[in-house]
Chain A
Amino acid sequence: MTVLLWAAVAVIGGAGSVARFLVDGTVSAASGRDFPVGTLVVNLSGAVLLGLLTGLVAGPDAALLAGTAAVGSYTTFSTWMLESQRMAEERQHLKVAANIAGSLVLGVAAAELGRLIGAHL
């Protein structure tokens, strides 16, 4: 619980947020779809990474920095919910269902995939 550790949490959290912004922007621009693909890609890639880390990382400090700070800040729950609610306001209910159920099912599968990869490394 040192000052240095928490300073690292802040810096890594800031960097993870910037990484999310860049990946989201790049994927959204490339896909050009009327569906939040950018957030989906960010959240699924983050779930794979965190699943991988849970099996690999040793020690509470490393878990805090790599898991909670880096991957935790890279993925987002709030934007996922906002985009779903805004699509529902536009009566795109099929897309809302796909965005919520798809993220959940693929997200748990992605975390499991990461864990399996970690177990075989």
Chain B
Amino acid sequence: MPEPPLELALPPASGPSSGGTSEPALRSRVRLIPRADRREIAAIFAGGAVGTLARAALSEAFPRPPTDWPWPVFAVNMVAAFLLGYLVTRLQERLPLSSYRRPLLGTGLCGGLSTFSTMQVEILEMLSAHAWALAVGYTVASIAGGYAMIHLATAMVRRVRR
């Protein structure tokens, strides 16, 4: 089903809690971003919550000193890259346009599951601890691995095209 135009997606009084004061602020902010509406934001929120929970649970379950290979972040980044490559290719090239699968699973779940900032701080801590080989190895493996995951997932979706 095609997405309704922005005017329809943002009725003036859709929520019981949204007062008249917050309405103009939301409208002007949303207008900056095409295709954004409240349900899309809600889908991103839900997906992001689940992805973050999974990543945080892994990180808490497997604590590590800064000079060990960061398996939790490495693992979630690889899984999220594969999932995003699969999802985006499938949604763009194989399935009819859906309004909420991309924000829920792509922007929300994969974005919340993967992280860039933690990886950068991990690399910085490796450098501070003079673990040069680990820092280079982790950086190269993350980039090569993440890129390969996207490539692999994309090729998988395209191969079954009929």
Q: A residues touching B (Cβ–Cβ < 8 Å)?
A: 1, 6, 9-18, 20-22, 25-26, 29, 43, 46-47, 49-51, 54, 64, 67-69, 71-82, 84-85, 100, 103-104, 107-108, 110-112, 115
We find that the number of chain B residues with CB closer than 8 angstroms to chain A is 54
What are 8 A-B pairs with beta-carbon distances under 8 A? A6-B56, A17-B45, A26-B33, A51-B121, A64-B56, A69-B56, A73-B48, A82-B150
Query: Which residues on B sit within 8 Å (CB–CB) of A81?
Result: 81, 84-85, 143, 146-147, 149-150
Q: Say yes or no for B99: interface residue by CB 8 A criterion.
A: no
Contact of A25 among B36, B47, B59, B108 (CB under 8 A): B36
Provide the main secondary structure of the chain A interface.
Answer: helix
B48 in contact with A51 (CB, 8 Å):
no
The residue of chain B having its C-beta at the shortest distance from the C-beta of A51 within the complex is B121
Query: Which residues on A sit within 8 Å (CB–CB) of B154?
Result: 85
A18 in contact with B41 (CB, 8 Å):
yes
Nearest-Cβ distance from residue A105 to partner chain B, whole angstroms: 10
**Given known contacts A29-B33, A68-B59, A77-B146, A13 and B116 CB-to-CB distance under 8 angstroms:** no
Query: Which residues on B sit within 8 Å (CB–CB) of A6?
Result: 53, 56
